[in-house]
Amino acid sequence: MIAALCVLAQAMPLDPGRHNILRPAAPQGSHIEWLYWVIFWIVFAVYVLMILGFTRAGAKSKSDAIYPLPVFEDKEGDERAKWAVGTAVALTVVTLFVVLVLSVVTGKKAAGLTSKNPVTIQVIGHQWWWEVVYPNPQADQTVTTANEIHVPVNTPVVILTNSSDVIHSFWVPSVTGKRDLLPGYSSAFWIKIEQPGIYRGQCAEFCGLQHAHMGFSVIAQSVEDFQAWQQQQLKPAAEPSNDETGRGRAVFLTHACLMCHTIRGTDAGSHFGPDLTHLASRNMIAAETLPNTRGALAGWILDPQRIKPGAEMAPNSLSPDDLQALLAYLQTLQ
Amino acid sequence: MATTEPVIANEKDAHDTELASRLARTWYQPRGVWGWLSNTHHTAVGKRFMVTSFIFLLLGGVLAALMRLQLIKPENSLLGPDLYNQIFTMHGSTMIFLFAVPMMFQGFGVYVVPLMCGARNIAFPRLNLFSYYLYVGGALVLWGGLLTNTGPDVGWFAYVPLSGPQYNPGHRADIWSQMITFTEVSALGVAVCLATTILRYRAPGMTLNRMPILLWEKLTISFMVIFAMPAVMVASGLLLLDRLVGTHFFNPAEGGDVLLYQHLFWFFGHPEVYIIFLPGAAIISTLVSCFSRRRIFGHTPIVVSVVATGFIGFGVWVHHMFATGLPQLSESFFTAASLMIVIPTGVQFFCWLATIWHGRVQMRLPMLWAFGFFFVFLIGGLSGVMLASVPVDTQVHDTYFIVAHFHYVLIGGALFPMFAGLYFWFPKMTGRMPDETLGKWHFWLFFIGFNLTFFTMHFLGLHGMTRRVYTYLPDMHWQGLNRLATTGVAFMTAGLLVFIANVLRSRRLGARAGDNPWGDSGLEWGTSSPPPSYNFLYPPTVNGRDALWDATPDQAVVVGLRDDIREVLVTHSLDSNPQHKDEDPGPSIWPFLASLAVSATFVGSIFTPWAVPYGAPLVIITLIGWLWPRGHSPAPLPQRTSWSH
């Protein structure tokens, strides 16, 4: 038993990261974590009691030398067992009732967050990336981005979900429970993050070939930082400042890129793939699969199918100069 | 008196020998390939179900090992996403539809139930044989798909719209839904046979009140199959219509509903868990009593629990859908229902514990596996209590925590009892005892490997690892736990190999078993091992709940059944009084031909809807052959005098 625990401890990650059910950073997650531990200790106690019972009963086992022993009648044992089993069943019912009440109360706590003036974020699942929209009644005040969800800390945020194709599921383990994104249904739930930081999320409903690489992150930042980010995102794309970036934009607009992507302020306006207007402001690309570096971006543009086989983006053949220009341009899209 | 006794005994022996040879002639089991295909005897078909489904357990295990190898390190390139998705879909579908149900429900049920009822054969033996071939047909279709790179890749649940025509062109999802049709028709057929056998073929004296727990469970499961399977056949049938003839039941763009599919699927899917677990619990109840050398404590509460599980099992399906964002009232309702089903399972555990506690336990091999079941299944059952709570479930749903949970439930609730049951009935099936030493090696290797692999997965889930991912990024720091989980597979594989060696060795070289080596009370131990083709020379009668333990030295037997035709006794479903005699239809090739016709229709309909009108006449022709009235049996022989034992 001790050896088993040592082996297990040795295999545990040293740094569990910010994608952990037991390390919540939001009140919803904390409520659930609390409930998790309460039920855990209840069932742990039950397990220990039952196993002690079976072990003791088994330890009394008779020798197999004479097998089978005659069957015996045991009225007295039956009489005692009646009381023991009756009591155990009654305790089970009471315990289950406690679990039910705790569960319903915690469920209400975790869901019950209201605010008259929340930040509203629309999350739309795509195979295999996340479209993130900060809707605003004025169309030009609407922010559209992908895979990285910025939220202000200590502010109630309402997440509206939808899917453009198959069922996905929105899950940030350190924030709260998951919610399925069902095509044909839209639903809403609240989150509120208390500690600034980057929390990793992941699609939790099997959605096809690249389900494994459908990550996203929630970036919680101070209200000021959030507003600054939002203002930056509202701007159209940066104009090319030199020849190389100018050529890069031309490459973008004359190759397959513009078939799927939007860069606001240019002719590229398709909504099939992620909006790239502020690509360079993101930490990661390809739905949190690769770091947003020049090298990774180059590898992704040339052969996305090697990194995410089955992804909707086709390989591109670009001359080295075109590629370098395109990368230079994309890296200016702050 | 003293002088005449030996004479009567001799006369009786001679009569018995003569009767046995006549019965053997009447109840012959045909030989050769043709004979093999047309043999309708339940022991043959039951063993076939067991062997076939065990092969699929091994194949499903190979797939599991491949998945574990793929996940041993981050960004592993052993399997690509396309192959991985086929493999995990095939693993789930194989284990549920081709192993767990055919082994636990059909295999054990078809072999043990008629013997335990004291019957000469199962009711509707041709339907039973037909069901076996349909099951094989479905299995071949599914695995043929994988081998031709058209293995389904949409999960064993095949959620729409991912499995719909828009997102899954080709025939992969069609193969999955048609395999469902095959195996579900097969399970339905066997459910009808078993329910009828239990209700009408019980030995006189085995009233409902005296029926062994195992028969109660098989009866409950048969009704669960009859009510649950149609839901999944509707789901997979509508999916097939969407895919083949362009209906829009599940297409949200045309007003279809993706949640409807989930409701239909889980209305079957959750009872399915109990269809797999209850046979295991039935085996445990049988063994606990036998190896504690006393009657089971709480026969009535256990029976009530089993039947209650059958009912409540239909009211909890929504807990598979807690993450879809249901209204809180319905969430609370299904939480309450899911917690409620703990009570009957708890009652069974308490009764087993009480039986062992007050018994004289003899830790023979089957009992060792029963103890393995207690240690393992309890973990799965108790983590299930955590999952019944909606808030906790929304966190761990679709993570490796769930993978750990349901492997504890299904391997704990089906595989451990299965090995217990296989070792237990091995002497009855082969006439030889299994080897205890090899059996213990098998147990410890499997037990350690199982816990290494699946206990670890709880932590992976809590650390945020989702299910059905073909790989993961290095900075998630999951590799240590994944490596540990993969290590366990080696132990489990070794354990399974020891089991196979044990079976192959013991069936030839094991110690001779005798009629009742474990000293159990079931009627199946009241005949020779292996049983003759007519099961019982004289069909038995029953005095109490533990048939053989309650039998008097001069226990009456059934006489008056003809021995020149396959006559069986039909009794009343409640008090099991003899009502009339029926004729067992005997071996026939038609069930096999009918299954070929049905299989051709099912497989053809994957490619064209015209397969249905073309295939229907073939099916009808084979059914006419199947049901063709036999020429009347030869004139009855004069009834012989019989002696009561």
Contacts of A77 in chain B (CB under 8 A): 294, 297, 354, 357-358
Whether A219 is covered by a domain: the verdict is no
Q: What is the pLDDT of residue B635?
A: 47
Answer yes or no: do A24 and A171 share one domain. Answer: yes
Domain-ending residue, one of A185, A210, A235: A210
A99 → chain B, closest CA residue: B389
ipTM of the complex as predicted: 0.95
Looking at residues A234-245, what average pLDDT do you find? Answer: 92
Band (B9; pLDDT cuts 50, 70, 90): low
Answer yes or no: do A196 and A250 share one domain. Answer: no
Q: How far apart are CA B235 and CA B264, in angstroms?
A: 6
Tell me the per-residue pLDDT of A126-152, one tens digit each, with 9 for 90 and over: 999 999 999 998 888 999 999 999 999
Inter-chain residue contact A204 with B323, CB threshold 8 Å: yes
Contacts of B452 in chain A (CB under 8 A): 7
The alpha carbon torsion through A38, A41, A43, A45 (nearest 10 deg) reads -150
| Closest Cβ opposite residue B328 in set A13, A47, A107 | A107
Indicate if the alpha-carbon torsion angle B628, B615, B174, B66 is positive or negative.
positive
B518 → chain A, closest CA residue: A68
Q: How far apart are CA B541 and CA A31, in angstroms?
A: 61
The residue behind tokens 């050896």 is: A3
Inter-chain residue contact B464 with A289, CB threshold 8 Å: no
Identify whether the C-beta of residue A200 lies closer than 8 Å to the C-beta of residue A217.
yes
Q: How many domains does chain A have?
A: 2
State both tokens at A198. 């980057």
Give start and end residues of each alpha helix (H) in B245-296: 258-291
Whether A63 is covered by a domain: the verdict is yes
Domain-ending residue, one of A154, A187, A210: A210
Tell me the per-residue pLDDT of A207-219, one tens digit each, with 9 for 90 and over: 999 999 999 999 9
Answer yes or no: do A182 and A116 share one domain. Answer: yes
| Closest Cβ opposite residue B350 in set A89, A93, A110 | A89
A83 min Cα distance to partner chain B (Å): 10
Inter-chain residue contact A71 with B294, CB threshold 8 Å: yes
Identify whether the C-beta of residue A121 lies closer than 8 Å to the C-beta of residue A160.
yes
Rg value, chain B, Cα: 25
B290 → chain A, closest CA residue: A71
Count of C-beta atoms within a 10 Å radius of residue A80: 13
Residue B167 CB burial class (10 angstroms; 0-12, 13-18, ≥19): middle
- Mutating which of B249, B329, B362, B454 best tests the A interface, going by the most A Cβ atoms within 10 A? B362
Nearest alpha carbon to residue B525 among B546, B543, B553, B555: B546
Answer yes or no: do A194 and A278 share one domain. Answer: no
Nearest alpha carbon to residue A288 among A166, A136, A172, A117: A172
B356 → chain A, closest CA residue: A57
Give the residues across from A180 on adjacent strands: A169
Contacts of A291 in chain B (CB under 8 A): none
Inter-chain residue contact A40 with B386, CB threshold 8 Å: yes
Looking at residues A170-188, what average pLDDT do you find? Answer: 93
pLDDT at B644 over 60: no
Q: What is the pLDDT of residue B641?
A: 40
Tell me the per-residue pLDDT of B220-256, one tens digit each, with 9 for 90 and over: 999 999 999 999 989 999 999 999 888 999 999 888 9
Question: How high does pLDDT run on average in chain A?
Answer: 92
The answer to which of A105-114, A160-169, B536-545, B582-591 has the lowest mean pLDDT is: A105-114
Answer yes or no: do A299 and A167 share one domain. Answer: no
B74 → chain A, closest CA residue: A212
Percent of chain A with pLDDT over 90: 77
| Closest Cβ opposite residue A179 in set B323, B360, B481 | B323
Nearest alpha carbon to residue B193 among B29, B35, B42: B42
Strand order from edge to edge, sheet including A215-221: A148-152, A215-221, A197-203, A168-172, A176-181
Inter-chain residue contact A68 with B349, CB threshold 8 Å: no
pLDDT at B4 over 50: no
Cis amide linkage into residue A171, ω under 30° from 0 = no
Whether A228 is covered by a domain: the verdict is no
Inter-chain residue contact B357 with A96, CB threshold 8 Å: no
Q: What is the pLDDT of residue A11?
A: 81
pLDDT at B2 over 50: no
The two beta strands, A119-126 and A157-163, are: parallel
Count of C-beta atoms within a 10 Å radius of residue B528: 14
A141 min Cα distance to partner chain B (Å): 29
Q: Which amino acid is it at A78?
A: D
| Closest Cβ opposite residue B252 in set A63, A184, A212 | A184
Answer yes or no: do A59 and A185 share one domain. Answer: yes
Inter-chain residue contact A54 with B395, CB threshold 8 Å: no
| Closest Cβ opposite residue B480 in set A13, A81, A93 | A13
- Mutating which of A5, A33, A69 best tests the B interface, going by the most B Cβ atoms within 10 A? A69
Whether A305 is covered by a domain: the verdict is yes
Q: What is the pLDDT of residue B8?
A: 56
Contacts 24+ apart (CB under 8 A), A292-296: A294/A327, A294/A331
pLDDT at A47 over 90: yes
Answer yes or no: do A258 and A320 share one domain. Answer: yes
Whole domain around residue A187: which residue ranges?
17-210
Helix (H) or strand (E) holding A159: strand A157-163
pLDDT at B22 over 50: yes
Band (A109; pLDDT cuts 50, 70, 90): confident
Whether A218 is covered by a domain: the verdict is no
Q: Which amino acid is it at A63?
A: S
Whether A4 is covered by a domain: the verdict is no
Contacts of A21 in chain B (CB under 8 A): 395-396, 461-464
Domain-ending residue, one of A188, A210, A232: A210
HSE-CB at B358 with a 13 A cutoff on CA atoms is 23
Q: What is the pLDDT of residue A112?
A: 72
Alpha carbon B590 to chain centroid, angstroms:
25
B550 → chain A, closest CA residue: A71
Give the residues across from A168 on adjacent strands: A181
Contacts of B342 in chain A (CB under 8 A): 92, 96
Looking at residues B194-218, what average pLDDT do you find? Answer: 96
Q: What is the pLDDT of residue A61?
A: 83
Inter-chain residue contact A92 with B464, CB threshold 8 Å: no
Contacts of B375 in chain A (CB under 8 A): 51, 54
| Closest Cβ opposite residue A74 in set B358, B452, B549 | B358
Inter-chain residue contact B357 with A110, CB threshold 8 Å: no
Contacts of B248 in chain A (CB under 8 A): none
Tell me the per-residue pLDDT of B318-367, one tens digit each, with 9 for 90 and over: 999 999 988 888 888 999 999 999 999 999 999 999 999 999 999 999 99
Q: Which positions ≥6 away from B413 have C-beta within 8 Å?
A: B276, B277, B280, B281, B373, B377, B380
Q: How far apart are CA A18 and CA B254, in angstroms?
A: 40
Helix (H) or strand (E) holding A181: strand A176-181
Answer yes or no: do A261 and A133 share one domain. Answer: no
Count of C-beta atoms within a 10 Å radius of residue B41: 26
* Whole-prediction pTM: 0.94
Give the residues across from B557 on adjacent strands: B540
Contacts of A178 in chain B (CB under 8 A): 323, 394-395, 397-398
- What DSSP state is assigned to residue A62? B
| Closest Cβ opposite residue B325 in set A14, A31, A179 | A179
State both tokens at B614. 């073309």
Identify whether the C-beta of residue B361 lies closer than 8 Å to the C-beta of residue A77.
no
Nearest alpha carbon to residue B471 among B63, B69, B155: B69
Q: What is the CATH number of the domain that holds A248?
A: 2.60.40.420
The answer to which of A53-57, A71-75, A264-268 has the lowest mean pLDDT is: A71-75
Inter-chain residue contact B478 with A207, CB threshold 8 Å: no
Q: What is the pLDDT of residue A4?
A: 79
DSSP letters for B27-65: T----HHHHHHH---HHHHHHHHHHHHHHHHHHHHHHHH
Identify the structural domains of chain B with CATH numbers, from first to last.
Answer: 5-627 (1.20.210.10)
Inter-chain residue contact A183 with B470, CB threshold 8 Å: no
| Closest Cβ opposite residue A110 in set B360, B391, B467 | B391
Question: How high does pLDDT run on average in chain B?
Answer: 92
Nearest alpha carbon to residue B619 among B604, B600, B636: B600
Contacts of B466 in chain A (CB under 8 A): 171, 202-204
Nearest alpha carbon to residue B115 among B53, B47, B183: B47
Q: How far apart are CA B348 and CA A92, in angstroms?
A: 12
Contacts of A54 in chain B (CB under 8 A): 353, 356, 371, 374-375
Whether A221 is covered by a domain: the verdict is no
Identify whether the C-beta of residue A144 lies closer than 8 Å to the C-beta of residue A182.
no
Answer yes or no: do A177 and A259 share one domain. Answer: no
Band (B1; pLDDT cuts 50, 70, 90): very low
Inter-chain residue contact B393 with A177, CB threshold 8 Å: yes
Inter-chain residue contact A80 with B549, CB threshold 8 Å: no
Whether A223 is covered by a domain: the verdict is no
- What DSSP state is assigned to residue B98? I
Looking at residues B98-107, what average pLDDT do you find? Answer: 96
Compute the count of residue pairs across chains A and B with CB atoms less than 8 Å apart: 302
Contacts of A111 in chain B (CB under 8 A): 328
| Closest Cβ opposite residue B323 in set A21, A47, A178 | A178
